[in-house]
Amino acid sequence: MNILGIETSCDETAAAICSNGKILSNVVSSQLIHSEFGGVVPELASREHERLINLVVEESIQRSSIKLENINLISVTNGPGLSGALLTGVCFAKGLGLGLGIPVIPINHLEAHIFSNFLAEPNLSYPFVCLLVSGGHTQLWHIKGYEEYELLGETRDDAAGEAFDKGARILGLGYPGGPEIEKCAENGNPNAVNFPRALTDTNKIEFSFSGLKTSLLYYMDSFESSKECSLSDVASSYQQAIIDSLLNKINLAALKTNVNTITIAGGVAKNQILRDKLKNDFSNYKIIFPDFNYCTDNAAMISFLGEIKLKLGSKSSLDFGIYPNFKFL
Ligand code: KG4
Ligand code: ZN
């Protein structure tokens, strides 16, 4: 079974081929056009997807060494995401599926992020907790079984990735902010500035990062780099505040659900300090991370989940729409 996955929900134009649970190719074209604006411009994202989608899909097929006529299924992200961006991928997938006479099935981007953990650990067993941390989402899920998902809690305002992106802008760093802050923080002191960790004294599983961003903004108003506190110290302290907030609620989720496995997914899951701290603080748990390539948006996770869904009975149709605000299942 050869599955072509297509992902265009935000600013990555991506295509991948999965064959019997193995990723044969994974092509991601990250749209650099947004960097000068410090965030994704939806109209530009749609236009870039339209320009790139054919090339990216062709390249994913070439790299996989599978022939176009040997593709059995197309799976495509239909939400959540930017509507114009989603439409580009969905229309392309439906047209190609019709042309080739093969089924097309819609995929929820968030579910695919969570399932990227099965790419890292095929023997991952239910139930487990998943921290889904991306540019658009910060959620804790109790994954009890296939299509048995309980949302334990999420952010009240900004997502963790957004806190990294906006924080980087305040610090004068580039976009996307997560890797920029992580790099800048490398030799910094995480305890140099005491940034707030919102909602960590409540028993509710919910996050808030907007106050943290504001406190960085005020802090930087009067900041002058010195021996006592460098920009690297500020970045490290800010990063640490985000990570502490995430770990605090992972702990609550693990206690509440009584699971023995914790997974993370989404772009922020690339952060090495988060990974190290998670392993260290939860040493009694099995901890799974997706490969770096499968944390940020990609189509490998879309093709992989497409294959699982087809095998478990999902039906193809061409009348599915896009769901920019998907809250799944
Ligand atoms: O999953 P993703 O590619 O897109 C969404 O579905 O939103 O996540 C992108 C987010 C961005 O906010 C980016 O700053 C963040 O992931 N990110 C990181 C790192 N790499 C990417 N955040 C922290 N540390 C990183 N190393
Ligand atoms: Zn994503």
Q: Is the CB of 323 under 6 A from ligand 1?
A: no
Q: Convert the pLDDT of each residue in 257-280 to its tens digit.
A: 999 999 999 999 999 999 999 999
pLDDT in the model for residue 33: 82
Q: Is residue 275 part of a domain?
A: no
Q: Do the domain assignments include residue 229?
A: yes
Residue nearest to atom 16 of ligand 1 (CA): 267
Does the Cβ of 209 fall within 6 Å of ligand 1?
no
CA distances (Å), 323 to each of 9, 165, 276, 283, in order? 10, 25, 35, 38
Within this chain, do residues 168 and 191 fall inside the same structural domain, yes or no?
Answer: yes
**Gyration radius from the chain CA atoms:** 20
Q: Give CA–CA dist 294/290, Å, rounded.
A: 6
Residue 327 lies in a domain: no
Q: Do 28 and 78 reside in the same domain of the chain?
A: yes
Q: Is the CB–ligand 1 distance for residue 167 below 6 Å?
A: no
Q: How far is the CA of 101 from the centre of ligand 1 (A)?
A: 36
Q: Which of 181, 296, 297, 302 to mutate to test the pocket of ligand 1 (most atoms within 8 A of CB)?
A: 296
242: nearest Cα among 305, 200, 291: 200
Q: Are residues 21 and 107 in the same domain?
A: yes
Q: Do residues 253 and 133 both lie within one domain?
A: yes
**CATH number, domain containing residue 39:** 3.30.420.40
Residue 282: the pLDDT is 98
Supply the range of the domain harboring residue 30.
2-113+295-311
**Is position 109 within any domain?**
yes
If asked whether residues 153 and 215 sit together in one domain, one would say yes
Given this model, what pLDDT does residue 322 score? 94
Both 147 and 53 in one domain: the answer is no
The residue ranges of the chain whose pLDDT is under 70 are: 328-329
- Is the CB of 190 inside a 6 Å radius of any atom of ligand 1? no
| Total domains, the chain | 2
pTM: 0.95
Given the CA of residue 162, which atom of ligand 1 is nearest to it?
A: 12
Tens digit of pLDDT for each residue in 62-94? 999 999 999 999 999 999 999 999 999 999 999
Residues 59, 157 within the same domain: no
Q: What is the dihedral of CA 86, 92, 96, 98, to 10 degrees?
A: 70
